[in-house]
């Protein structure tokens, strides 16, 4: 695997790991920061399905679920030939710190640099919104709503 085709994001969020884990795995809570509808079954083999922008649906399956510490799920986009459902892997580690949580995200299996750049931008956007919600703030309407992307 080429290192260049890995998306890595780290962000410190002033909330405990349990609060972030709930925002990442509860279908109602995830909608506070990402998506218009969600079906999440956070257990190995369980469905990960989020209509991210109202026009673009991410689908995959949970591979690893370690409550409040780690999630890993396959990821891809419905109706995409470049990144089809389940074709890439998202891993999220929640590392407790004295003043909150270090969220470490790694997204592998993307097919090319263009897709990596687009997903890096998307993760930066949505992790920022997650941080706002975790801090008790309303991130406001998602400017990516209605965006169909490509691929």
Residue 50 sits at the vertex; the CA angle it makes with 91 and 71, to the nearest 5 degrees, is 20
- pLDDT tens-place string over residues 114-133: 999 999 999 999 999 999 99
Whole-angstrom CA distances from 92 to 3, 10, 148 are 18, 10, 25
Tokens 């209509």 belong to 51
54 torsion bin: left (phi>0), alpha (psi -120 to 50), beta (else) = left
Which positions ≥6 away from 60 have C-beta within 8 Å?
A: 48, 73, 74, 75, 76, 85, 86, 90
The model's pTM is 0.94
pLDDT of residue 149: 65
Burial class (CB in 10 A: 0-12, 13-18, 19+), 149: middle
Q: What would the CATH number be for the domain defined by 3-134?
A: 3.30.530.20
pLDDT of residue 1: 46
- For residue 34, is pLDDT > 80? yes
- pLDDT tens-place string over residues 57-84: 999 999 999 999 999 999 999 999 999 9
Question: Percentage of residues in the chain with pLDDT exceeding 90?
Answer: 89
pLDDT of residue 147: 76
- pLDDT tens-place string over residues 80-93: 999 999 999 999 99
């Amino acid at each position: 695997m080429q290192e260049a085709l890995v998306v890595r994001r780290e962000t410190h969020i002033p909330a405990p790991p349990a609060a972030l884990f709930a925002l990442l795995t509860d279908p109602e809570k995830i909608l506070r920061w990402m998506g218009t509808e969600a079906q999440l079954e956070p257990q190995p083999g369980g469905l990960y399905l989020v209509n991210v922008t109202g026009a673009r649906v991410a689908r995959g399956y949970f591979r690893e679920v370690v409550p409040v510490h780690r999630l890993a799920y396959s990821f891809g986009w419905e109706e995409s030939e470049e990144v089809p459902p389940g074709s890439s892997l998202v891993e999220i580690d929640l590392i407790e710190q004295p003043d909150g949580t270090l969220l470490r995200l790694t997204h592998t299996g993307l097919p090319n640099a263009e897709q990596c750049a687009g997903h890096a931008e998307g993760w930066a956007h949505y992790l920022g919104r997650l941080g706002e919600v975790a801090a008790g703030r309303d991130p406001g309407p998602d400017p990516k709503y209605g965006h169909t992307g490509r691929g």
